[in-house]
Every structure is written in C-alpha cells, then in structure tokens.
Structure 1
Amino acid sequence: MRAQKIRPFVPSGKDFPLAVQFYTDLGFEKIFSNPQGAIFKIDETEFHLQNYHNVELQENYMLELCVQDIDAWWTHIQSTEIVSKYQVRANPPKMQPYGKRAIHLIDPAGVLWHFTE
C-alpha cells in the first residue's frame, strides 16, 4: 500500500467568497470551485476549502504547511498585506518547542496555519 497525498477539508467560515479570495491573495491557485467548496493548490500541496461554518471547529482547526524558505514566506505574507486587508493575525518566524521555525497565520475563519521550515 502506498499513499500519494492527503487533502484536508478546511472550513471557510461564514463568508465563503471572502475565504476564497483570502487564499487566492495568499498565493494558492484555485483549481476547482463550486458553491459547496473549492480546491486550492500550491506546488504539490492541495486542500479543499469547504463552504462550512462552525466556529468551534474553525477555532480549533490547525494545519502545518512545510515550506523550503520560511523567511521568503514571511516576506511574501507581508507583501500581500493580507493581515490588514482581512483583519487576520500573523506572527513572524520563531523557533517552536517542537524544533521547527514557524509562522503562525490565522485565516479569516479562525483556522491556524503553521508554516514551518
């Protein structure tokens, strides 16, 4: 048996079109979309953005995106101005107790992304 990839289903929050635009502005490519959800891709990594709103789930949902150059991602996040545009939070790269440098980015729905190197 061999697994090829995992595609998590990420809740969009109450404003699905806003979430779609957020991920587009962040640099993900939308490869599919309908009213129920969208699929986003960056390099070989993909995820489903589900048109689903559940505050408890969203505020407890976390993803780790492993990247090659964490500092380049931080520069990119700052250059997109998504923090001010979407009123979200992002923390610069910092060494974490689990041994990786990470950027923490909370999307408009409250989902926490760990960008790690």
Structure 2
Amino acid sequence: MKVQAKSIRPFIGAKDYEESLRFYRTLGFEIKSLGPVMSVIRISEGHFFYLQKAFVKDWVDNTMLFLEVEDLQSYWEAVKVLGLPDKFPGVRLSTIQFQEWGAEFFLHDPSGILWHIGSFKP
C-alpha cells in the first residue's frame, strides 16, 4: 500500500519544558500549546513536532532529528547569530561538516536532543 503522507510529527521530551519552549521560540519556531504538558511546534509549512513535558534520560539522550534546509550556510549563520549556547545551558552548536552525501551541522537543545540540520547533494 502506498502512503499518501501529509506530515510526520515526532514526539520529543524536555528536561525543562519552559526552557525548551523558550529555546524553540528563539529559533523562530511557532508554538501552540495543547495543554499544560504538550505543545505542537511548527518549523515551517507541513513540518511539526510535539514537545512534551516529559523527561526520560535514556530516551532524550538518544533522540536525534534531521532537519533538511534549502540553504544550509545561510541557516547556520542565522542560528549562530542567535547566540544560543550563551543563552541556554547545555546548548551546543557545531560548524558545518561536509560529507560525501551533503553537509550538516549539529545543534543540541537544552535537554540534549540532537538536531542534525543539513542539506543533501543533488
């Protein structure tokens, strides 16, 4: 059966829910509260994830998300200028790493969720 998907929305946890909300808002993501323990976060049209007020260390420590962007260099520069590691304890931002398949940089959120942000070669 062929799936006619419209979106995929992973669920991620947060060590400090309010701090994680501030972090994602600072990144420019749109946040809609679904109640006191969950929000849906919109990255762009059709790209969402759920943030939960839930922290299971092994789960969060092993959560990784890959966000593909159109212009990796410009997006990295826009993220870097935000100074996230200075504003949020535990946040780390790498430089762009070039691979045979494309390029990516890494961003750890305040809980330790690892974001791979990249673009693929055509």
**What TM-score comes out, normalization by structure 1 length?**
0.91
The yes-or-no answer on 1:92 pairing with 2:98 is no
User: Counterparts in 2 of 1:29-44, with a 5 A limit?
Assistant: 29-44=30-45
User: Counterparts in 2 of 1:16-31, with a 5 A limit?
Assistant: 16-31=17-32
CA distance in 2, matches of 1:76, 1:33: 29
The yes-or-no answer on 1:55 pairing with 2:71 is no
- CA shift for structure 1 position 77: 1.1
- RMSD, aligned CA: 1.2
The aligned residue for residue 81 of structure 2 is 79
Q: Percent identity?
A: 31
| Alignment check: 8 A CA contact 2:42 2:48 kept | yes
| Alignment check: 8 A CA contact 2:33 2:40 kept | yes
- CA shift for structure 1 position 27: 1.1
For residue 40 of structure 1, give the secondary structure of its aligned residue in structure 2. strand
| Alignment check: 8 A CA contact 2:39 2:52 kept | yes
CA distance in 2, matches of 1:10, 1:92: 24
Count residues with an aligned counterpart.
Answer: 115
**What TM-score comes out, normalization by structure 2 length?**
0.88
CA distance in 2, matches of 1:2, 1:63: 22
- CA shift for structure 1 position 93: 1.1
Q: Which runs of 5+ in 1 are unaligned?
A: none
The aligned residue for residue 46 of structure 1 is 48
Supply the AA of the counterpart residue of 2:19: L
CA distance in 2, matches of 1:52, 1:32: 15
For residue 34 of structure 1, give the secondary structure of its aligned residue in structure 2. coil
